[in-house]
């Protein structure tokens, strides 16, 4: 194949925005989580289970996991785009990252709803 050079994929803005939005959500959730943890009557397993059994806490924790995975996807993809030149290797790394993050999200859901 003739090595023609093409750029202009016409995406990137949504990812850039999402990276900032997820960062803000994660910062707010971390603050909320820290305050809730400090206000817990005792640091014990039953207290944790009771805290995380609340549907709203589970909902916000689940959103946190999704935000973390999406944020990590954009950040790690950026690293591959910056430093990995062969397109085949880059595609393979993108796929590995994507599968790992989807797996982690599923695992986190399993942990949250098992408690």
Dihedral of CA atoms 111, 109, 106, 13 in degrees, nearest 10, equals: -130
> Could you tell me if 40 and 47 are in contact, meaning their C-beta atoms sit under 8 angstroms apart?
yes
In this chain, which stretch among 1-9, 23-31, 41-49, 88-96 interacts with other proteins, using CB under 8 A? 1-9
Among 7, 35, 39, 87, binds other proteins (CB under 8 A): 7
Q: Residue 9: which of 68, 92, 77 has the closest Cα?
A: 77
Nearer to other proteins, 8 or 55 (CB): 8
Position 83 contacts other proteins (CB under 8 A): yes
Position 23 contacts other proteins (CB under 8 A): no
Question: Which residue ranges make up the site for other proteins (CB under 8 A)?
Answer: 5, 7-17, 78, 81-83
């Amino acid at each position: 194949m003739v090595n023609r050079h093409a750029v202009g994929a016409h995406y990137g803005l949504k990812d850039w925005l999402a990276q900032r939005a997820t960062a803000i959500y994660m910062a707010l959730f971390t603050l909320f989580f820290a305050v809730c943890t400090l206000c817990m009557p005792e640091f014990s397993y039953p207290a944790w289970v009771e805290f995380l059994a609340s549907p709203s806490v589970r909902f916000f924790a689940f959103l946190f996991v999704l935000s973390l995975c999406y944020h990590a996807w954009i950040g790690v993809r950026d690293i591959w785009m910056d430093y990995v030149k062969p397109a085949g290797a880059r595609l393979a790394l993108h796929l590995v990252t994507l599968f790992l993050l989807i797996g982690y999200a599923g695992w986190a859901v399993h942990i949250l709803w098992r408690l």
